[in-house]
Amino acid sequence: MSTFVPKWNDGTKWNTPGAVWGPKKAPIKTMSTSKVTYPAHEVIGFCGTSAAMLTKYKTQMIAAKIDPTGLIAKLDPDSKAISAANDLQEGLKTQLREATIAVNDAVAAAYSDCSNACDMVITAFGRGSSQAQEATNLRKSVRPSPRHETNPPTPTPPTT
């Protein structure tokens, strides 16, 4: 027995004898359904070469009743807008990188000072004192950021 596979909109009804209905296929992605991003510098170049191409063929296009004049005038401001926005974004990235370095340096200096404070308490009262235990617990309460951790801590077996 041959298997009849209906084609889209061929008039086949759901109860047609021999029709095999499979799973729906994924919709075809189009420019309107999928978000696409392009590097800014490439699109800036694309604007320039597109304007040059339209200018080169402008006379022939006008003869074919297609006038690219408006689009040619729009491409230069488009590329300048991309360039300005990209320069702003790159400047902000640089500022953010510099601010991150400054914050990390300040955190490291403050942590070192606090750790020295705990060491002073431990030294002044002795390692077995309640004050030393408080200082040790205080230092342990500050955990390093997991993204900076190079080796994960090894689990300690439970004591019984």
Please tell me the predicted confidence (pLDDT) of residue 153: 61
5 domain residue, yes or no: no
Write the secondary structure of the chain as one string of H (helix), E (strand) and C (coil): CCCECCCCCCCCCCCCCCECCCCCCCCCCCCCCCCCCCCHHHHHHHHHHHHHHHHHHHHHHHHCCCCCHHHHHHHHHHHHHHHHHHHHHHHHHHHHHHHHHHHHHHHHHHHHHHHHHHHHHHHHHCCCCHHHHHHHHHHHCCCCCHHHCCCCCCCCCCCC
Q: What is the mean pLDDT of each run of 10 residues along the chain (160 residues)?
A: 53 58 62 76 95 96 95 96 96 95 94 95 95 94 72 65
Q: Cβ contacts of residue 24 below 8 Å, gap of 6+? A: none
Domain coverage including residue 103: 40-142
24 domain residue, yes or no: no
86 domain residue, yes or no: yes
121 domain residue, yes or no: yes
Please tell me the predicted confidence (pLDDT) of residue 3: 58
Identity of the amino acid at 135: A
119 domain residue, yes or no: yes
Please tell me the predicted confidence (pLDDT) of residue 116: 95
**Angle, helices 130-140/69-125, rounded to nearest 10 degrees:** 170
Query: Which pair of structure tokens corresponds to residue 72?
Result: 């040619």
Please tell me the predicted confidence (pLDDT) of residue 152: 57
Predicted structure pTM score: 0.53
148 domain residue, yes or no: no
Q: Are 148 and 107 spatial neighbours (Cβ–Cβ below 8 Å)?
A: no
Q: Are 33 and 27 spatial neighbours (Cβ–Cβ below 8 Å)?
A: yes
151 domain residue, yes or no: no
Please tell me the predicted confidence (pLDDT) of residue 37: 86
What's the number of domains the chain is made of?
1
